Amino acid sequence: MADVVEIFADGTRIERDFTEAEIAQIEKDKVDLAAKQAEAEAKAAQKAALLERLGISESEARLLLS
Amino acid sequence: MAITKATASSIAPAAKGDLVVGSSTNDAAVLSVGTNDHVLTADSSTATGLKWAAAASGGGSITLITPTSTANSGGSVSTSGGAVTASSVNSVSLNGVFSSTYNNYFFTVQEIIASTNVDVYFRMRASGTDTTAADHNRAGTKVTYSAGASSVVNDNAGTFFMLGQYDATNKLSSYVHLYHPNLATDTNYYSLNPSRDASIIQGGFLNNNTQYDGITVYPSSGTLSCTIRVYGLAN
């Protein structure tokens, strides 16, 4: 099965594999996404640790900041 | 118009919608059917004195634009009356939707279904290639439904623009306004995204002068189903 299907207004249909550039970008996107998810998880862990140290819940912290 | 015996047998229309018209030699000729939604227009520079062209827009009008082509990875895509419907794709691209005809556009991504709770992104596209340079600048406000908490969403020199987070059941939609994507100046955008867990209002710009003619919409992982419509705003 082809990686990419291109359909033109006149009905022409082209099926092709990813180009090298597209493969490289897909791989880069995966790496970037993993880094973003790791950053979000680290931030959530930091937040949880801080709330625990302060001895308050997240909703109590929100109340303080509102 | 004189139809000669010699030409009479050669003017049979070859396809649905073809027209038989007078040519510059006062003979008959076949004018092939035009692109969907185009109208017949007089043009003395053509051999038949006619051409198919996009209908002139009226004052202040909004025009639904049919892409010159689509491209998808995985799943399937169909186009009907300018609406591009993608089903379970890894990405869907619309080519030839931005041109010098309009300065400004908007597009809607309707009834988004993602295979998992993922972010949905879009990238601008030129001559069939996505822009992936780290020149996407975005900032906005995200307010969650559950607790009403607000937070800032932003990317400085990112490689894409985000719409929001979607899921398999809620069929939410996004609106994106684009300022001058086909002019040789920074493309600006703002978008309104009632996404799965929060409402996100954001805007930004692409820090380059590329003249874009298309977009690609894709999920951060998994697949995506949706219907995309691009509209041009009369100058």
In the structure, what pLDDT confidence band is assigned to residue B8 with cuts at 50, 70 and 90? low
Tokens of B212: 């874009």
Mean pLDDT computed over B69-96: 96
Model confidence over B165-202: pLDDT tens digits? 898 888 999 999 999 999 999 999 999 999 888 999 99
According to the model, what pLDDT value does residue B145 have? 87
Q: pLDDT category, B45, cuts 50, 70, 90?
A: confident
Confidence of residue B35 (pLDDT cuts 50, 70, 90): confident
B67 touches chain A (CB under 8 A): yes
Kindly tell me if the per-residue pLDDT of B9 is higher than 60.
Answer: no
**Interchain CB distance below 8 Å, B129 and A21:** yes
Q: Cβ–Cβ of A59/B147 closer than 8 Å?
A: yes
- Determine whether domain B62-233 maps to CATH 1.10.3470: no
Taking the CA atoms of chain A, what radius of gyration do you get in angstroms?
23
Which of B16, B70, B92 is the best substitution to test chain A (most A C-beta atoms within 10 A)? Answer: B70
pLDDT on residue B10: 61
A-chain CB neighbours of B71 within 8 Å are 4-7
Mean pLDDT of B2-26: 69
CATH code 2.60.120 region(s) in chain B: 62-233
Alpha-carbon gap, residue B47 to B24, rounded angstroms: 5
How far away is chain A from the Cα of B71, in angstroms, using its nearest Cα?
A: 4
CB B55 within 8 A of CB B202: no
B80 at the A interface (CB within 8 A)?
Answer: no
pTM for the whole structure: 0.76
User: Across the interface, do B69 and A62 touch by the CB < 8 Å criterion?
Assistant: no
**Residue range A19-30, pLDDT digits in tens:** 999 999 999 999
Q: Is the pLDDT of residue B43 over 90?
A: no
DSSP string, chain B: ----HHHHTT----STT-EEEE-TTSSEEEE----TTEEEEE-TTSTTSEEEEEPPPPTT-EEEE--SEEEEESSEEEEETTEEEEEEESEEEEES---TT-SEEEEEEEEEEESSSEEEEEEEEETTEE--SS-EEEEEEEEETTT--EEEEEEEEESSEEEEEE-SSS-EEEEEEEE-TTSSS-EEEEEEEE-SSEEEEEEEEESS-----EEEEEESSS-EEEEEEEEEE--
- pLDDT above 70 for B60: no
| Range name among A32-36, B27-31, B78-82 with the lowest pLDDT average | B27-31
Asked if B130 reaches chain A (Cβ–Cβ under 8 Å), the answer is yes
**pLDDT tens, residue by residue, B99-154:** 999 999 999 999 999 977 789 999 999 999 999 999 999 999 999 888 777 888 88
Picking from B68, B159, B221, the nearest residue to A8 by CB comes out as: B68
Do residues B152 and B140 lie in contact, with contact meaning Cβ atoms separated by under 8 Å? yes
